[in-house]
Structure 1
Amino acid sequence: MIFIDDMGWADLSCFGNTDAQTPNIDKLAAEGICFDQFYVNSPICSPSRVALLTGTYPQRWNITSYLSYREDNRNRGIANWLNPSAPTLARGLHQAGYATGHFGKWHMGGQRDVTDAPQIAAYGFDASLTNFEGMGPKLLPLTKEETGKVGRVWEEAEILGQPFTWMQRSAITTGYIDAAIAFIDKAGQDEKPFYVNIWPDDVHSPYWPPFEEYGLAKEAGKRGLYLAVLEAMDQQFGKLFDYVQSNEKLRNNTLIVFCSDNGPEKGAGRAGELKGFKTHLYEGGIRSSLIVWGPGFMKAKVKGTRNKESVFSAIDFMPSLLLFTGTKAAQNSISDGENVLKTMLGESGASRRAPIFYSRPPDRKNYYGFENLPDLAVREGDWKLLCDYDGGRKELYNIVNDPGEHHNLADVHAKKAATMAKKVTSWYKSMPVLEKEEN
C-alpha cells in the first residue's frame, strides 16, 4: 500500500504531467489499471490516513484535520491520536497470519508535543519505521543547501523517542524502501504472507531534492523544487518495483495499490482541470490518482487500461483487501467501506453503492485564496453537492460532465440539491463529538 503525501491528481506523467517524468510509477500503470474517479476521504493528511487504515470515516474518531500540538488539537476539537480500538486493515491481516509492516509517515498520533501516543504496533503492525510524526523507530530528515549547509526540518523531533537516525531528506524514501524489502525478505524466510505500507513524504513541503539538483531546482521556484522531488521519489521507487517485478514469486502473487492522501499544495503539485487544492472539498482536494498493479490477479485485456467511470474511495480498500486475502472482518467491527475488489482488479466497472461523505478541516474555512469554503460535501452517482453545516449555500455539480465544478446547478435541480444536502447534514450530525476527557 503506497500512500504518497500531497501529490496532485495530475502529477504523475501517466496522469498527464508533461513537466516531469515518473517512469517507474508509469510502468506500474502500464501493467495495471489507472482509476480516474477514485477519492480519498479527507483533503488533509491525518484524517485521510485514518480512513485508509480503518475503512471508516475519520469523523468517527474525531480526527478531522492534521494532528498538531495538544493545544491546537483541543482548540479544533480533534483527538491527539487515533483510538487504538479502531478497526485496522493491518490488525485484521495480522490476526490472519500476515506479517505487517509500516514504513513512512504515520501522523495518526505522536507529533509535536504529543509524546505519549500509542506505538504504531498498537494498530496491528509487527514492525515500523516512521518519521517525525509517529512513535517508534524513525528516520529524521536533514537538509542540504546548494552551499553545502546542513540543517534539520524538525529541530526537536528527538522528543518522540528513540531509536532514530538522521539522514538526508532526499534519501529517506530509499531508507523506507530498504527497510520494507528487508521485512519482505524476512516474511519470505518465515513463509508468511505480508502486508506493507510504504508512505513517503517527499512531495510534502518543504521540498528538498538531492543536493546535486537543489540549486537549479530552487531557481525554478516552488514548482521547480516540487518537480525535482517528484522525479527523485519516482527514481527511489524504482528499487522497490524492480525487487518485486524481478522475483517471479512476488511478481505473480503481489498486489500494489498506489495513490496520494490528498490534493496538492498550491503552487507545487497540480490537479489538472480539477478545482481546488489540499484542504478543499472541491475535486482537486479529494480526488487521487489511483494505480492498482497485480499481474497475477488481472486478465491480460485489462492491463494498461484506464477506468474512467468507477467511483469509490479509500475506505473501500479495507473490505476489498480483506476479501482479496480471504480474511474475515472482526465481528461487530465498524465499517463504512464497501467491497469493490472486482473493480480494483478490472473484473467489473461497478462503483460503490453508498454516497461518499466529507466534512472540511475545521481550521480551513478560508484557505489558498478561497474564502468562505463550504463545510460539507457528498458524491453520489454522477452528482456532487457542497454546502454548509446547516445545508445552506448549496453547490450542485454533475461531476461527470463538469469535473472542474464550474456550473452550479443547485437552482436548476433544487429537489436533488435539497435531498443530497439532507443526506450529508444528517451524516455529519451522526458523527461523535470529542469529549474533553478523551486523549
Structure 2
Amino acid sequence: MKSLLILLLSSALACAESKPNILFIFADDWGWGDLSCHGHPYVKTPNIDRLAAEGTDFHRFTVASGVCSPSRTAVMTGHFPARYAIDGHFAWVPSNEKRGMPDWLSPKAPLLPRLLQQSGYATAHFGKWHLANDMIPDSPLPSEYGYDEYGAFNCAGEQMPWLDDAQRTISFIEKSQSENKPFFVNLWIHEPHTPFHVLPKYRWRFPDLEEKDNIYAATLSHADERIGEVLDALDRLKLTDNTLVIFSSDNGPARARENAELNLSYDTATGAGYGNAASRGITGGRKGFKAALFEGGIGVPFIARWPGKIAAGKVDADSLISAVDLLPTFCEVAGAELPDDYTPDGVNQLTVLTGKPEAIRQKPLFWRMNGSGDPNKPDSYHWVSFAIVDQHWKLLSNQDGSHQELYDLAADPFEKNDLAKEQAEVLAGLNKKLAAWKETLPKEADSSCFSSERSR
C-alpha cells in the first residue's frame, strides 16, 4: 500500500510539473496606448512593463468585437460571437430581446475552461463575467461553464468585490500547487471600465495631473499593482518558469469629450465611482475607440510571457493573432484535445508565440456589430456593421454595403488611406468571402438562452 501511494504521488507530481500553468489577464477597456511601455505620457504600469520585458509584445493582436460580451464569448469558445447571435453587451432582458440577442452565452457551447478542466487542470475565474448580466437573475452561474472555483461580478448571484480579484487568484494558485495540479485562471479585471473606483493611495501618486487624468492614471496604477501581486506570488511559489501569462484587453478604450462634466455614477455590479468624463484612454494612434471595428476599437495590448519558451524583450509587429485563436492555442499548450465535432474559427498560434511562425495567416477574421452613425463625418467610427481581415487587407462595411472602406494594414496600420476605389478586385474578393461567412450564421438567437423574464 505504501509503495502504491508513493507511485500515485510521484505520478501526480510529474503531471503537475509537465503541464504548464496558464494565467490569462483580461482587462476591460484598456487601450493599446494605456501602458508606459507603449509610451503613455503619464500612466505608469511597471508590472505590465515587466511582462513585456520578460516576454514578447505582440502589436497586431485583435479581439472579436469592439465591446465586452462578444469579445469574451470569442475567448471562451474560439468562435466568432456572431455564431451565437451575441453582437453587443449583455444588458437587461428587454434590451437583449430588442437586439435579437440571447440573454447569456450557452453553457453547452464548446468552452475553453471545460476543455482544460477535462484535461486535468484546476480551473478558476475571478473578476468580470458579463457573459450574462447581474440584472438577469436566472442566468447560469460561472460555475456551469467549467470552473472549479469562481468569484465574479456582472453575473447572477453574489457579486464579488472587484478589488478582491488578485488575492482570490493567488489563493487559488496556492491551493492548486498544494494539490499538485496545473492551473488555468481567468483574471478578468474591472479596470479601466466605468465607474472609476479610485482609492486615495493611488491618486496621491499623480499629484500634478488634472483631475480627470489623475483619476484615470490612479485607476490603472491600482490595476497594475494587483497584477504585480499575482506575478510576485508566482515568483514566491517558484511557478514563474512553468506558467504562461497573457495580458490583454477585451476592447479598445473609452474616450470622453474634453468638456464632459465629471460626476459620480453607479453600477449595480461594482458600486459607485466616477463616471465617463474620466475616460482618458488612448489607442497609440489607432483609429477609433471602444465600440468601433476600426483598429482603435479592436487592436489591444497582447503581451505573452513564458520564460524559456517565449522570447524576452521582443516586439512582434507582424504576426496577426486573434482572440478566437486563444482556445486552440491554450489547448495545445495544455495538451487538451479538441472535440471531434468542434471546428474553431481560430488557429493554434503556439509557434507564433514561441517565435517560430510557420507562414502568413491564411484563415480570415470576421466581425459583426450593430453599426450606427454617419460614415461621411470624420469623427464617426461606429457606422461599421461588418468587417473582414484577410492577410494584410481589411474591409469595413455598413449594414447594407452601401458604404465600404478598404485598408492595407501592413502599409497603413492606422487606416488613413482608403483604397476601396483603387482596389476594386480586392474589394470584390473580400465581399465574396464576407457574404459566404454570413450564410454560416444563425438566423436567430438560441431560445434555450432566454430568461424567463421574456414571458412577462
Range class of TM-score, shorter chain: 0.7 to 0.9
The residue that corresponds to 1:400 in the other structure is: 410
Bigger Cα displacement from structure 2, 239-248 vs 59-68: 239-248
Shift of 1:422: 2.2
Secondary structure at 1:432 match in 2: coil
Cα shift readout 1:343-399 (whole Å, capped 9, x = no counterpart): 112232644321110112x26546995277121111111111101233331201111
Equivalent of 1:177 in 121, 142, 166 = 166
The residue that corresponds to 2:270 in the other structure is: none
* 1:58 maps to 2:70: no
Shift of 1:34: 0.3
TM-score (norm 2): 0.83
Q: Give the Cα–Cα distance (whole angstroms) in 1 for the partners of residues 232 and 203 of structure 2.
A: 27
User: Which amino acid letter does the alignment assign opposite residue 210 of structure 1?
Assistant: L
Over 3 Å counting, the alpha-carbon distance change for 1:319 and 1:223 in structure 2 is same
Cα shift readout 1:309-343 (whole Å, capped 9, x = no counterpart): 00020110111111111110122024111111111
* 1:253 maps to 2:253: no
The residue that corresponds to 1:134 in the other structure is: 155
Q: Give the Cα–Cα distance (whole angstroms) in 2 for the partners of residues 109 and 244 of structure 1.
A: 31
* 1:269 maps to 2:281: yes
User: Which amino acid letter does the alignment assign opposite residue 180 of structure 1?
Assistant: T
Structural mapping, 1:269-348, within 5 Å: 269-298=281-310, 302-348=311-357
The residue that corresponds to 2:230 in the other structure is: 240
Structural mapping, 1:76-91, within 5 Å: 76-91=99-114
The residue that corresponds to 1:162 in the other structure is: none
Over 3 Å counting, the alpha-carbon distance change for 1:83 and 1:273 in structure 2 is same
The residue that corresponds to 1:163 in the other structure is: none
Cα shift readout 1:27-77 (whole Å, capped 9, x = no counterpart): 011010000001111110000000011111111111110000100000111
Equivalent of 1:186 in 175, 178, 184 = 175
Q: Give the Cα–Cα distance (whole angstroms) in 2 for the partners of residues 364 and 209 of structure 1.
A: 33
User: Which amino acid letter does the alignment assign opposite residue 108 of structure 2?
Assistant: S
Over 3 Å counting, the alpha-carbon distance change for 1:78 and 1:194 in structure 2 is same
The residue that corresponds to 1:143 in the other structure is: none
Shift of 1:136: 4.5
> 2:102, 2:447 within 8 Å by CA — same for their partners in 1?
no
Secondary structure at 2:160 match in 1: strand
The residue that corresponds to 1:375 in the other structure is: 385
> 1:32, 1:294 within 8 Å by CA — same for their partners in 2?
yes
Secondary structure at 1:230 match in 2: helix
Shift of 1:224: 3.2
Q: Give the Cα–Cα distance (whole angstroms) in 2 for the partners of residues 129 and 373 of structure 1.
A: 36
Q: Give the Cα–Cα distance (whole angstroms) in 1 for the partners of residues 176 and 360 of structure 2.
A: 34
TM-score (norm 1): 0.86
Shift of 1:190: 1.2
Equivalent of 1:73 in 77, 96, 101 = 96
User: Which amino acid letter does the alignment assign opposite residue 339 of structure 2?
Assistant: A
* 1:200 maps to 2:222: no
User: Which amino acid letter does the alignment assign opposite residue 224 of structure 1?
Assistant: N
User: Which amino acid letter does the alignment assign opposite residue 420 of structure 2?
Assistant: A
Q: Give the Cα–Cα distance (whole angstroms) in 2 for the partners of residues 136 and 97 of structure 1.
A: 27
Shift of 1:214: 5.0
Aligned residues: 400
* 1:92 maps to 2:82: no
Secondary structure at 2:242 match in 1: coil
Q: Give the Cα–Cα distance (whole angstroms) in 2 for the partners of residues 321 and 371 of structure 1.
A: 33
> 1:130, 1:136 within 8 Å by CA — same for their partners in 2?
no
> 2:85, 2:444 within 8 Å by CA — same for their partners in 1?
yes
Q: Give the Cα–Cα distance (whole angstroms) in 2 for the partners of residues 253 and 363 of structure 1.
A: 43
Q: Give the Cα–Cα distance (whole angstroms) in 1 for the partners of residues 207 and 104 of structure 2.
A: 36
Question: Percent of counterpart pairs with the same letter?
Answer: 36
The residue that corresponds to 1:416 in the other structure is: 426
Cα shift readout 1:412-432 (whole Å, capped 9, x = no counterpart): 001101111221233134211
Bigger Cα displacement from structure 2, 13-22 vs 53-62: 13-22
Over 3 Å counting, the alpha-carbon distance change for 1:234 and 1:351 in structure 2 is farther
Q: Give the Cα–Cα distance (whole angstroms) in 1 for the partners of residues 423 and 440 of structure 2.
A: 26
Q: Give the Cα–Cα distance (whole angstroms) in 2 for the partners of residues 422 and 255 of structure 1.
A: 38
Cα shift readout 1:237-290 (whole Å, capped 9, x = no counterpart): 111111112332x11110001100000001321101110000001000001110
